[in-house]
Amino acid sequence: MKKLHLITLGLMMFSGLASAAGDAYIGEHVQTNIRSTDSLRNGARTFMNYCMGCHSMEFQRYNRVAEDLGLTEDEMMNGLVLTDAKFADKMTIAMDPQDAEQWFGKTPPDLTVIAKARGLDWLYNFLINYYLDPTRPTGWNNLTFENASMPHVLWEFQGMRKANFNVYEDEDGNEHKEFIDFEVVEAGSMSEQEYKDMVRDLVNFLDYSSEPAQLIRMSYAPWVLLFVALFTFLAYLLKVNYFRDIH
Ligand code: HEC
């Protein structure tokens, strides 16, 4: 039943978002590695510190994540989890969806399967492409997710940037807005590379959470390849044997 929920949710998000994501700005491709436990732990820490204030990950439990990331209960609950949640709890949040709607104009969606809905490149670009925009209620806008109602929650690390646009009208009088570049207004506490690495790990964690079985599948891969190699070798020996007397 739970699986069914997850699939339905996934499909809902996918169909709803596919069109919205159609002409999103994707300036960079992200290279993640789901087998890097360090990267996943790093991403989990960022998620629990900076995202779970507003977003839940309802289809995950703390103990499952700890197990998959090789963390003890103590490392997980005292090192990563900021609330008084229990080890076997689902990763829900205390924020009331109606309050959230009032504060932000939109309810922050559950992020368990967001990587399936949006794709890794979209998530990565969304999180690195915030810029200051005084016309928006939060003071922030985003190149990849225009007019998003989520503020730039990682701004202390990335710093503040303005975006320069080339705005022009075509022959038919339609206005076009072309992104040119960013201009640093205030530097963040991280270098550009450090910030991008942090976001890459966070996206890696969101990828893992959208399908934890990926880890198991990946761990089978070497054995499957070994089996295929052995089998090929046996088939070759058999062929040599069959054709030995045929000239
Ligand atoms: C202060 C509350 C808040 C925090 C903290 C927050 N978000 Fe959000 N987030 C929102 C809101 C509100 C939206 C809805 C935006 C919209 O639809 O315009 C959103 C939307 C999103 C979306 C887009 C979902 C979609 O496809 O429509 C993603 C992805 C996301 N957040 C990721 C994150 C990540 C990753 C973090 C942690 C680094 C984070 N958020 C922290 C409030 C928050």
Is 162 close to ligand 1, i.e. is its CB under 6 Å away?
A: no
User: Tens digits of per-residue pLDDT, 95-152?
Assistant: 888 898 888 889 999 999 999 999 999 999 999 999 999 999 999 999 999 999 999 9
Residues 144 and 198 grouped into a single domain? yes
Residues 129 and 243 grouped into a single domain? no
Backbone angles phi and psi of 96, in degrees to 5: -80, 125
Of ligand 1's listed atoms, the one at least distance from the Cα of 147 is 18
Q: Which of 114, 139, 14 is nearest to 54 (CA)?
A: 114
- Dist. CA 56–CA 108, nearest whole Å: 8
User: Tens digits of per-residue pLDDT, 196-245?
Assistant: 999 999 999 999 999 999 888 888 888 999 999 999 999 999 999 989 88
Q: Which residues pair with 70 in a beta bridge?
A: none
Residues 120 and 232 grouped into a single domain? no
Is 118 close to ligand 1, i.e. is its CB under 6 Å away?
A: yes
Is 17 close to ligand 1, i.e. is its CB under 6 Å away?
A: yes
Residue from 55, 140, 157 to probe ligand 1 pocket by mutation (most atoms less than 8 Å from CB): 55
Q: What is the tally of structural domains in the chain?
A: 2
Let me know if residue 39 belongs to a domain: yes
In SS3 terms, the chain reads as CHHHHHHHHHHHHHHHHHHHCCCCCCCCCCCCCCCCHHHHHHHHHHHHHHCCCCCCEEEEEHHHHHHHCCCCHHHHHHHHCCCCCCCCCEECCCCCHHHHHHHHCCCCCCCCCHHHHHCHHHHHHHHHCEEECCCCCCCEEECCCCCCCCCCCCHHHHEEEEEEEEEEECCCCCEEEEEEEEEEEEECCCCHHHHHHHHHHHHHHHHHHHCCHHHHHHHHHHHHHHHHHHHHHHHHHHHHHHCCCCC
Residue from 17, 54, 122, 200 to probe ligand 1 pocket by mutation (most atoms less than 8 Å from CB): 54
Residues 145 and 229 grouped into a single domain? no
Let me know if residue 120 belongs to a domain: yes
Let me know if residue 114 belongs to a domain: yes
What CATH number is associated with residue 24? 1.10.760.10
Let me know if residue 217 belongs to a domain: no
Is 154 close to ligand 1, i.e. is its CB under 6 Å away?
A: yes
The one-letter code for the residue type at 24 is A
Of ligand 1's listed atoms, the one at least distance from the Cα of 100 is 12
Is 152 close to ligand 1, i.e. is its CB under 6 Å away?
A: no
CA of 14 to the centre of ligand 1 (A): 16
Question: Quick one: pLDDT at residue 7?
Answer: 59
Under 8 Å CB-to-CB from 191, ≥6 apart: which residues? Answer: none
Residues 165 and 135 grouped into a single domain? yes
User: Tens digits of per-residue pLDDT, 169-202?
Assistant: 999 999 988 999 999 999 999 999 999 999 999 9
Residues 226 and 138 grouped into a single domain? no
Let me know if residue 17 belongs to a domain: yes
Under 8 Å CB-to-CB from 30, ≥6 apart: which residues? Answer: 120, 121, 123, 124, 125, 200, 203
Residues 194 and 246 grouped into a single domain? no
Is 50 close to ligand 1, i.e. is its CB under 6 Å away?
A: yes
Question: Quick one: pLDDT at residue 18?
Answer: 44
CA of 37 to the centre of ligand 1 (A): 24
Is 13 close to ligand 1, i.e. is its CB under 6 Å away?
A: no
Let me know if residue 146 belongs to a domain: yes
- Dist. CA 25–CA 163, nearest whole Å: 13
CA 238 to chain CA centroid, Å, is 48
Question: Quick one: pLDDT at residue 11?
Answer: 53
Q: Which of 17, 246, 13, 28 is nearest to 143 (CA)?
A: 28
Of ligand 1's listed atoms, the one at least distance from the Cα of 148 is 18
- Dist. CA 73–CA 67, nearest whole Å: 9
Contact 153, 198 (CB under 8 A): no
Residues 233 and 198 grouped into a single domain? no
Let me know if residue 216 belongs to a domain: no
Closest residue by Cα to atom 39, ligand 1, is 51
Let me know if residue 57 belongs to a domain: yes
Closest residue by Cα to atom 3, ligand 1, is 54
Residues 81 and 184 grouped into a single domain? yes
Q: How confident is the model at residue 10 (pLDDT cuts 50, 70, 90)?
A: low
Residues 138 and 246 grouped into a single domain? no
Residues 93 and 172 grouped into a single domain? yes
Of ligand 1's listed atoms, the one at least distance from the Cα of 21 is 26
Domain housing 226: 222-247
Residues 146 and 247 grouped into a single domain? no
